[in-house]
Chains A and B, each alone.
Chain A
Amino acid sequence: MTESEFMFSDLMVWAETAFWILLKIVAILIPLILAVAYTTYAERKIIGYMQLRLGPNRVGPKGWLQPIADTVKLIMKEIVVPRGASKTLFVMAPILFIGPSFAAWAVVPFDAGVVLADVNAGLLYILAMTSIGVYGVIIAGWASNSKYAFLGAMRSAAQIVSYELAMGFALVGVLMCSQSMNLGEIVLSQSGGIFQWFWIPLFPLLVVYWISGVAETNRAPFDMAEGESEIVAGFHVEYGGMAFSLFFLAEYANMILISFLTALLFFGGWLSPFEGYGMLDEMTAWIPGTIWLLIKASIFLFGLLWIRATFPRFRYDQIMRLGWKVFIPVTLVWLPVVAIWIKSNVWPFN
């Protein structure tokens, strides 16, 4: 075999791998974008119903085509760069925001072994990716040359940094229980039916994680970064058209990610809740794991919309107080409790 032949076959192997990875990325991203589109529809419908309204029902049967109409409208709109804005950063910011929120999906397992990148430190990777997203927000706020955008960006940055801590601590609990950072292994360590999942021993951490997740995604009642009443729309006030819709897409992708992570970390991911329950287990054995995961994630996604329909926005000092003075002490107290629980070898750690 000559050297050139070797190079060529090497290249072929590389190209084939790259092709399969790209295909997998597409297989994750296309459903994700569709899910985002229909999450906006579900949000408008659910909030409408909770407020005794009907929600969108004009475009298509029951309003099913509303997200498509919205997308078409956004694509056709012009992206206006404000005077005095830093043009490069202004255009880059939405990409910096959406990139990490899509990249985080790389380590999310959809079933046993069905994952794009089965890395060992998946949990750390997700924490890192969700934190990097804040740069997009800050740059968007700064590059817009608008005081509202800047204020929104500052608020958002402070909020995400504060809640990152509580969220990280909550995940330390999961780490201790599962002895692994790989999301697939975390799920597998919860096998054994609904009462073996981590939501019982880690219940306070689950609540802290869930609420921090709401705050991390800048959703109501923690949407100070957008605060319509005082800073119009916050960091994306100057954005329109596709640039705006990228922010929108990323925010909803983050919401879905938080819902998936809650299902994976605390509610047994793709595992059936009836595992090891004889009759029930056999009757539900035909349901694939992915469906269980989707059902669990949709319940938490619904929770996010439900919370938005219910609570008024927090004041800024209340948000900071909740993050620093309530959540961090709660997690700090519960971590030793969990540690002793695990070491004492009683249910469910025996």
Chain B
Amino acid sequence: MKTVKQFLNSFLLVELLKGLRVTWANMFRRKVTVQFPEERTPQSPRFRGLHALRSYPNGEERCIACKLCEAVCPASAITIEAGPREKDGSRRTTKYEIDLFKCIFCGFCEESCPVDSIVETRIFDYHFENRGEHIMTKEMLLEVGRLNEEQIAADREADAKYR
């Protein structure tokens, strides 16, 4: 009896017709596609995108060249050279570079930073057009920080109570 039932089931394509019914029903359901450039998925304040170096409101850069980020970076993507600044002799970086091809966006640099200088922003849709552009220099990082300071500060504020 069971074999007869099994035979009829497969011979009359019962399972296949059930499958067709599922796809038919799905055709009329709401579509879940996000139309990317116009629509964006929501982001967390902890989003780890393109890096930035922050500055204080008076324009002084935060980074004190402690090299903790360079030490903690698991991909060795950060290169720092430090020395006294000509103007006031304080210890600053003379070179701060991030290789975006090496970076794995783990966020350790951000966590290790004692002065909240190196941060990861919400920017994720950037591109390079020439060789060598994947190296973010200190000026580029500071520029990203200046342009996005408002968002960066708001995100740190939102996350502060969990730190």
| Chain A residues at the B interface, C-beta cutoff of 8 Å | 46, 49-54, 207, 306-307, 309-311, 326
CB <8 Å contact, A306 and B31? no
26-54 of chain B: CB within 8 A of chain A: 26-27, 29-33, 35
B16 touches A311 (CB 8 A): yes
Q: Complex: how many Å from CA A311 to CA B16?
A: 8
* Contact of B23 with A310 in the complex, beta carbons under 8 Å: yes
Contact of A52 (CB < 8 Å), options: B19, B20, B24, B32: B32
B32's closest neighbor in chain A, by CB?
A: A52
Give the number of residues in B that approach A within 8 Å (Cβ atoms): 16
Question: Of the candidates A54, A207, A309, A310, which one forms a contact with B31 in the assembled complex, judged by CB atoms under 8 Å apart?
Answer: A54
Q: Can you list 18 contacts pairing A with B, beta carbon distance less than 8 Å?
A: A49-B27, A50-B27, A52-B29, A52-B30, A52-B31, A52-B32, A53-B32, A53-B33, A54-B31, A54-B33, A54-B35, A207-B13, A306-B24, A307-B20, A309-B23, A310-B16, A310-B23, A311-B19
Chain B residues closer than 8 Å to A50, beta-carbon distance: 23-24, 26-27
CA distance A310 to B13 in the complex (A): 13
Contact B26 A51 (CB under 8 A): yes
Closest-by-CB residue of A relative to B16 is A311
Given A50-B23, A51-B26, 15 other A-B contacts at CB below 8 A? A46-B27, A49-B31, A52-B26, A52-B30, A52-B31, A52-B32, A53-B31, A53-B32, A54-B33, A306-B23, A307-B20, A310-B16, A310-B20, A310-B22, A326-B11
Chain B hits for A46, CB < 8 A: 27
In the assembled complex, the Cα of A50 lies from the Cα of B31 at a distance in Å of 9
Give bound CA distance, A53 to B34, whole Å: 9
A62 to chain B, nearest CB (A): 13
Chain B residue numbers with a CB within 8 Å of A310 are 16, 19-20, 22-23
Classify the secondary structure of A's interface with B: helix
Task: With both chains docked as a complex, state the minimum distance between the C-beta of A124 and any C-beta of chain B, in angstroms.
Answer: 30
B contact residues around A307 at 8 Å (CB): 20
| A310 vs B33: C-alpha distance when bound (angstroms) | 20
Contacts of B11 in A (CB 8 A): 326
State the majority secondary structure of interface residues on B. helix
Over the window 1-33 of chain B, the binary record of Cβ atoms lying under 8 Å from chain A Cβ atoms (1 yes, 0 no) is 000000000010100100110111011011111
| CA distance in complex: A306, B13 (Å) | 15
| Residues of chain A within 8 A of B20, CB atoms compared | 306-307, 310
The residues of A that contact B26 with a CB separation of less than 8 Å are: 49-52
**With a CB–CB cut-off of 8 A, which chain A residues contact B24?**
50, 306
The residue in chain B whose Cβ has the minimal distance to the Cβ of A54 is B33
For A326, list chain B residues within 8 Å (CB). Answer: 11
- Give Cα A341 to B6, complex, Å: 29
User: Closest residue to B33 on the A side, CB-wise?
Assistant: A54
Q: How far apart are the CA atoms of A49 and B32 in the complex, in Å?
A: 10
Interface string of B75-115 (1 = CB under 8 A from A): 00000000000000000000000000000000000000000
Nearest CB in chain A: distance from B143 CB, A: 32
CA distance A46 to B24 in the complex (A): 10
Residue of chain A at shortest CB distance from B28:
A49
In whole angstroms, how far apart are the Cα atoms of A54 and B30 in the complex? 10
**B28, chain A: closest CB distance, angstroms:** 8
A326–B13 CA distance with the chains assembled, in angstroms: 12
Bound CA span A50–B25, Å: 8
Q: How far is the CA of A223 from the CA of B132 in the complex (A)?
A: 45
Distance from B11 Cβ to chain A, minimum over Cβ atoms (Å): 8
Residue with the highest number of chain B CB atoms closer than 10 Å, among A50, A54, A307, A326: A50
CB neighbours of B30 from chain A (8 A):
52
- Chain A residues contacting B32 (CB-CB under 8 Å) are 52-53
- Residues of B contacting A53 in the complex (Cβ-Cβ under 8 angstroms): 31-33
Most A CB contacts (10 A, CB to CB) among B23, B29, B30, B35 go to B23
B121 to chain A, nearest CB (A): 28
Contacts of B23 in A (CB 8 A): 50, 306, 309-310
* A307 to B22 CA separation, bound complex (whole angstroms): 11
Q: Which residue of chain B has the shortest Cβ distance to A307 in the bound complex? A: B20
